[in-house]
Amino acid sequence: MAALMAGFGLYTHAIVRRIPASLAKEALRTSEAEVDVDKARGEHDAYVEVLRTRLGLDVVDLPADESFPDCVFVEDAAVVCGDTALITRPGAESRRGETEAMKRALKALNLNVVEMTDENATLDGGDVLFTGREFFVGLSSRTNQRGAEILADAFKDYAVSTVPVLASLHLKSFCSMGGPGLIVIGSSEPAQKALKIMQQMSDHCYDKLTVPDDFAANCIYMNLPDKGHVLLHCTAEQYPESFKVFEKLKDYTLIPVSNMEKVKVDGALTCCSILINKKGSI
């Protein structure tokens, strides 16, 4: 059925992109960390493998483009909800070109593609949190009000609320959905403050799962047939305390995914894929 807002977490396809060698040196980052491209590629391969093999998604694997060091973080290039895909206008000038390949891929999937052409608008997909009932858009260094407006226009069915993001790169740098109505949130003050804002702005009640590490709050939730609740989250090696929190989730298929290298260039788990549900679409 094509019921509105049905099947949160149900995905059939995933779009990912390979890591360019330029990632190590040229990818944007908020820290000075050195990135080992090989390690990063290893992690990414494992990540894609989980999506493809373990979860059975149809993975669209886009080739890397050396001219776009950050291109692996496909999440920022588009926002897909239902069968509508909004091609974003990334806040970082150097990343604007990433959307071309994304647009082609989305069109190939027969999605209703909407482009953000307003030159005053910027939007990174990493600032967009879709809860199943509504959108929260972080207003960050990468995303502005106009970008959020265009997103609201693209997804008219849903409320789109803005949340100021000051202390981190993206809204989803410290939060994500851990299930229907469950927001995983970091424990830092900015994260908690943002959560408060989201709760206030919403007509819906959300449960929250607080993890000690902000970055660990970025996880990937899916609700797949035959697999139930699936959660891709941080490893014990990377965030031991947060890992313990995830371990306590019941009735979940918990899949720790290593993300030690990509995090150095601010890449979180959700950043590396765009998840699409083609079955439910009308």
Partner 1 sequence: MTTEVGSETEVKEKAEESADQPDQSEKATEETQEVASAEGEEKGKEKEGKGISKFLPTWLKKQKSLSQTSPTKEAALKEEAISVEKQEEEGPAPEVNGLADEVPEKEAVKSEQLKEKEEKPHSKASTDTEPAKEEKVDESVEKSPEETKETTEGQGVEEEKKEQEGEVQGEGEGGGGGEEGQTSIFQSPLRLVRKTKMKLVVCHVTLLDGTDFSCEVEKRAKGQFLFFKVCDHLNLLEKDYFGLTYKDNHEQTSCLDPMKEIKRQIRSNNWQFAFNVKFYPPDPSLLSEDITRYLLCLQLREDVASGRLPCSFVTHALLGSYTLQAEFGDYEPDQPRPVDFMSQLNFAPSQNKEMEEKILELHKSHRGMTPAQADAQFLENAKKLSMYGVDLHHAKDSEGVDIMLGVCANGLLVYKDRLRINRFAWPKILKISYKRNNFYIKIRPGETEQFESTVGFKLQNHRSAKRLWKVCVENHSFFRLNTPEPPTKPRFLTLGSKFRYSGRTQAQTRTASSLIDRPAPRFERTSSKRISRSLDGAPMISITEAGRDSAENGREHRLDDSKVKTVDVSPGDVEDTSAQSPLRVHVDNIYVRHSNLMLEDHDKTQDEVLKHQASISQLKRSFMEAPPPSPPQTNQWEKRLTSSPATAVRVQQQQVVSEPHAEAAAAAAAAADFTISDTKESAKTAEVEIEETVVIQEVSKATKPALITVTTDSPASAPTDQETREPEVTVQEEVAVPKDAKAAKQESVSSESESEEEAEYHPNVSVSLSHTQIPEEKEEEDKENEDETAEQNMLAPDVSSHQAETSHPAEDISGGVVESQKEDMKKNAENEKEGRETEDSTDDLMMTPEETPNGVALSEEAVAAHVEEEPEPRINGEPRPQVICYSEPPVVKTEMVTISDTFAAQKTEIATKEVPIVHTETKTITYEAAQLDGTGDGEPGVLMTAQTITSESLCTTTTTHITKTLKGGLSETRIEKRIVITGDCDIDHDKALAQAIKEAKEQHPDMSVTRVVVHKETELAEEEED
Catalytic sites, residue numbers: 170, 271
Site string for partner 1, 142-161 (x = CB under 8 A): ---x--xx--xx-xxxxxxx
Question: Alpha-carbon torsion 54, 73, 194, 122, what sign?
Answer: negative
| Smaller CB separation from partner 1, 49 or 153 | 153
Core vs surface per residue 114-140: b (16+ CB within 10 A) or e: bebeeeebbbbbbbbbbbbbbbbbbbb
Find the shortest distance in angstroms from Cβ 243 to partner 1.
29
Shortest distance (Å) from residue 191 CB to partner 1: 15
138 belongs to the binding site for partner 1 (CB under 8 A): no
State the nearest-atom distance from the C-beta of 179 to partner 1, in Å: 19
Q: What are the structure tokens assigned to 252, written together?
A: 């979940």
Compare residues 22 and 281 and give the one whose CB is closer to partner 1: 281
Least distance from partner 1 to the Cβ atom of residue 28, Å: 26
User: Considering beta carbons, is residue 137 or 194 the nearer one to partner 1?
Assistant: 137
Query: How far, in Å, CA of 10 to CA of 87, rounded?
Result: 21
188 counts as binding partner 1 under rule CB under 8 A: no
Q: Which stretch binds partner 1 (CB under 8 A): 1-9, 14-22, 96-104, 247-255?
A: 1-9
Instruction: Output the smallest distance, CB 164 to partner 1, in A.
Output: 10
Which residues within the stretch 76-135 sit at the binding site for partner 1 (CB under 8 A)?
82-84, 112, 133-134
- The site that binds partner 1 (CB under 8 A) totals a number of residues, namely 31
Q: Which is nearer to partner 1, 137 or 269 (CB)?
A: 137
* DSSP 8-class letter at 84: E
Nearer to partner 1, 152 or 249 (CB): 152
Does 137 sit near partner 1 (CB under 8 A)?
yes
**Interface ranges with partner 1 (CB under 8 A):** 2-5, 82-84, 112, 133-134, 137, 145, 148-149, 152-153, 155-162, 196, 200-203, 281-282
